Chain A
Amino acid sequence: MIRPRTYRILLSIVAAVFSLSAHAAWNNPYPSADRDRNILYAAFRERPKHLDPARSYSSNEYEFIAQVYEPPFQYHYLKRPYALAPLTAVAVPKPVYLDRQGRRLPQDAPAQTISYSVYEIRIRPGVYYQPHPAFARDDKGDLRYQALTERELGGVYAISDFSKAGTRELVAADYVYQIKRLAHPKLHSPILSVMQDYIVGLKDYVATLKRAHAEVAQGREEGVYLDLTRYPLAGVEAVDRYTYRVKINGKYPQILYWMAMPFFAPMPPEADHFFSQPGMAQKNLTLDWYPVGTGPYMLTVNNPNRRMVLERNPNFRDERYPAEGEPEDAAEGLFADAGKRLPFIDKVMFSLEKENIPYWSKFLQGYYDRSGVLTESFDQAIRFSGSGDTEVSEAMQGKGIHLLTSVASSTYYLGFNMLDPVVGGLSERARKLRQAVSIAIDYEEQISIFRNGRGIAAQGPLPPGIFGYEEGCAGMNPYVYDCVDGTPRRKPIEAARRLLAESGYPDGQDAKTGKPLLLYFDTAATGPEEKAKLDWMTKQLRKLDVQLVVRATDYNTFQKKMRQGEAQLFEWGWNADYPDPENFLFLLYGPNKKVGADGENAANYDDPGFNRLFERVKNMDNGPERLALIRKMLDITRRDAPWAWGTHPKLFLLEHAWVYNTKPNTMANNTLKYLRLEPRLRAQQREAWNRPVVWPMLAVLGLVALAVVPAVIAWRRRERGAAR
């Protein structure tokens, strides 16, 4: 395969040298023709692995597909606490509760009596898919690209190589099709194991599809299309063109939150069939790479080695900017565009940016419009005027950069493995040891050193914004904090030393044998960037005269240790799937243990009292009764201290003066459609900030020239001397 690319590069370099002087900002990484265009520039850190909504389960992938795929519901952009709002649905439905015999139960029926909940979802008519070859029809009205031959595929390397495209109206059956795909044997949907307990008939459906797939495939690996419309799924059906029903086992109000995730977005069977044709997968033409949706944007360039480009979907329906939100939103100017048609931005260009420093520098130079959701290490890289302060440094203020913060719905914690003979178990001795360690690890300090104050120390598993979280002393962990003047303050280190002595280790030595107490910290953090954190952790325990041994291994081994319950202390975190306390409390539910059950309870905490309460709280609707039970549960775990509660990180988002309508929303992912830009201001600022400084290079050249002159003279003299 010979490509003219190298010649092109050489030619263009020559051309470039001559035209270089004509450009104001030499370090502009984008074509100068795009100077005034309405393009948002963003970055992505690692190539997304899956863009198929049935498989994708990570925030960096949602950044793309949430703009393309539209599940029936979304989180309201401006309202807090987070509330569901219809997206393609007409409204968020109320469930119909049925008993075992299929009789309708009242809304306030106790959870035990409810056998099924039925959700009937009506979607809006007149919603159309993005233009896509899968919908293209020929003159006769037949689908054009659904029976591709090898010859037709010959010159095709990307979706854009298909000359024709078409569209189709969104129908309820597309949603049903996608729910069926969750059970597809080749897709390994990560939520299948959760969903098959709730969606009626899904478990059997998995077996059905497995058999059906084996029949259709006949041992072939690729080019197998399994027509899911031929296999009915008991609990999910399309009622009419615009209505479908989902039947759930028992009561499970959280299902609505799940249905706001891309897992429940519509999938047109044409697209699935289109990509399943033989020969497509070899060319990397798969649904996992090319999303097909009804959303405001469509993915037009998908080159994960360089850039991903979202462009406005010309068929996007009439959706308007919301007019209601929190009272303070008005002051922030968030209602300026209320009622205007979405989206505002024509094109979003994501460039691959793996390293922090280039990312940060380009942001400061104006080449990225926002700093993006900051990752851990990036977080360290920037410093604001001070810790705990929500303002940017003067230099940044001068550039008009502003800062938006929100506490993420996530919890990072230090877990104690409850199966460990030293720190684990529910005995009084171990409990006191854990409490002592919890006091000693000063998370307030950690937040101020490593996160520049961007976070709050956790009082329990629930982060702010989740039902059951309480501010101030009411929601304080009384085993680690004291209430001083109405604010929680960490207990002094003496209290921890006392607890340590009571647990049998006065001054960090075993009272019986006199051996020093060694604790092990297991981590997968082997990079040098993590070293400071490990140092800090060791420093914390030294306050108790306890030596912390860091057992750093690679990620795999760490995971394995966790599964086998061989870790002792470890750091772990959880991001909310949905804003409900159940999604956090289940991390401490006994039957959900990591060891044995392979669940998400990484500390392997198993307290019968807590477990009983959890089973009650799980399906309850929010209200005073639920709150009372949650308080009880929190007290049990705070006393047992299976986690040193750690932190709830604050997300900080920096953006330039030319970006409007940003409001951090940690639940919603489809927020790009609300943003607005002022490209002209951006173009001016970029040029003003990036005037090239040439004199140092000239000075270096001058110096070199100067150094040569005396040498030439010296050499001449020597030559003449030799000649003589």
Chain B
Amino acid sequence: MIAYIVRRILYAIPILLGVNLITFALFFFVNSPDDMARIHLGVKRVTPEAIAKWKEDRGFTRPLLYNAAAQGTAKLKDTIFYQHSLRLFVFEFGRAEDNRDIGREIAERMWPSLAIALPTFLVGVLVYITFALLLAFFRGTYLDTWGVVLCVAMMSVSVLFYVIGGQYLMSKLWHLVPISGYDDTGLLAFKFLTLPVVVGVVGSIGANARLYRSFFLEEIGKDYVRTARAKGLSEPRVLFQHVLKNAMIPILTGVVVVIPSLFIGSLIFESFFGIPGLGSYTIDAIHSQDFFVVRAMVFLGSVLYIVGLILTDISYTLVDPRVRLE
């Protein structure tokens, strides 16, 4: 098992290298360093000297991939790609355009992202399972039929409407919670987090509850459930003791892959609700074309995704003893 994990981690290295190369290509072929300099130096009174200085300060005067002028290994080392991209592998993200250290910024912004993503995730899974169980429990009655229709209807609404509607109703009309913002102390934290969490959970009830319901129904159709019923177990006990336990396998393995990504947060929610997390950091970086931050976030996102995949594999072995990792 440990050998397997080590192998997976080694396998991740070429993938991350590829990710790096793709982002590098996208950003450097799209925007010349001159363009970046102009954006960051401001609009008023930008002189060519200032641009030259800016580029020199950041080492953008080097060639992109191959330095023909240099000697030996420096041919590859004295390039923008080597100097700026490969350092990421030791999590050295460098500095953002405003000269703040990206690593520190990520460490700081991770918490707000997590503070909204984790409750949304936990409450979400709980609510979806409950809702799906309810549908499975009442299967065949009108509640199930209309519940599924409701799920499909809820799936068909854009997440933007949930956010806009939630803010309008909960904050503007009913004055229940602040419309946006973030704080991490006391009552304020709770006030600020309520709305995004509620909207986040409600927004994805439709798809998830329906999916989980199908997991439950699949289990209910199996022989052991019939046996349990034949033993005379009551329906709730069958559902909670047997069906729930076994249906948790597909549910858990399905959610494990997203757990690492919770750190990155959500682009839409964070910018709508003014949460100073990594999602809004990324959006800002896209808008201001801060290459260093975007690249760092892409790298981080890829790393976490790969970690998620590895975790998924491990969780399979944990919940299902038949699976062996080779």
Contacts and interface: CB of A to CB of B under 8 A. Distances in A.
Direct contact of A and B (CB under 8 A): yes
B176 A361 contact: no
Residue among B182, B193, B280 with most chain A CB within 10 A? B182
A279 to B, nearest CB: 12
Interface string A23-42: 10111111110000000000
Contact of B177 (A26, A30, A32, A305): A26
A556 interface: yes
Contacts of A361: 167, 171-172, 179
B179 A286 contact: no
B326 interface: no
B173 A351 contact: no
B45 A191 contact: yes
Given A281-B99, A361-B171, A188 B45 contact: no
A715 B236 CA distance: 12
A384 interface: no
A254 interface: no
A138 interface: no
Nearest to B48: A598
A355 B272 CA distance: 7
B229 to A, nearest CB: 10
Given A16-B190, A353-B180, A718 B276 contact: no
B111 A3 contact: yes
Contacts of B107: 1
Contact of A284 (B31, B101, B186): B101
Q: What class of interface size applies to chain B in its complex with A?
A: 35 or more
Contacts of A555: 39, 289
A47 interface: yes
B50 interface: yes
B273 to A, nearest CB: 8
A306 B182 contact: yes
A32 B191 CA distance: 12
Given A49-B98, A284-B100, A29 B178 contact: yes
A556 B171 CA distance: 38
B92 interface: no
Given A193-B47, A352-B274, A692 B178 contact: no
A602 to B, nearest CB: 11
Contacts of A560: 35
Nearest to A575: B44
Given A5-B111, A353-B274, A20 B187 contact: yes
Nearest to A573: B43
B181 interface: yes
Q: Top 5 nearest A-B pairs by Cβ distance?
A: A305-B276, A711-B143, A16-B190, A358-B180, A556-B35
Interface of A: 1, 3, 5-6, 8-9, 12-13, 15-17, 19-20, 23, 25-32, 46-47, 49-50, 57-58, 185-186, 188, 190-191, 193-194, 281-282, 284, 286, 288, 305-306, 351-355, 357-358, 361-362, 365, 367, 555-557, 559-560, 598, 600, 690-694, 696-697, 707-708, 710-711, 714-715, 718-719
28 contacts: A8-B185, A13-B193, A15-B186, A19-B187, A20-B187, A26-B177, A27-B191, A29-B188, A194-B45, A281-B99, A282-B101, A284-B99, A354-B280, A355-B271, A358-B273, A362-B180, A365-B175, A692-B175, A692-B176, A693-B173, A693-B175, A694-B174, A696-B169, A697-B174, A708-B143, A710-B142, A711-B138, A714-B142
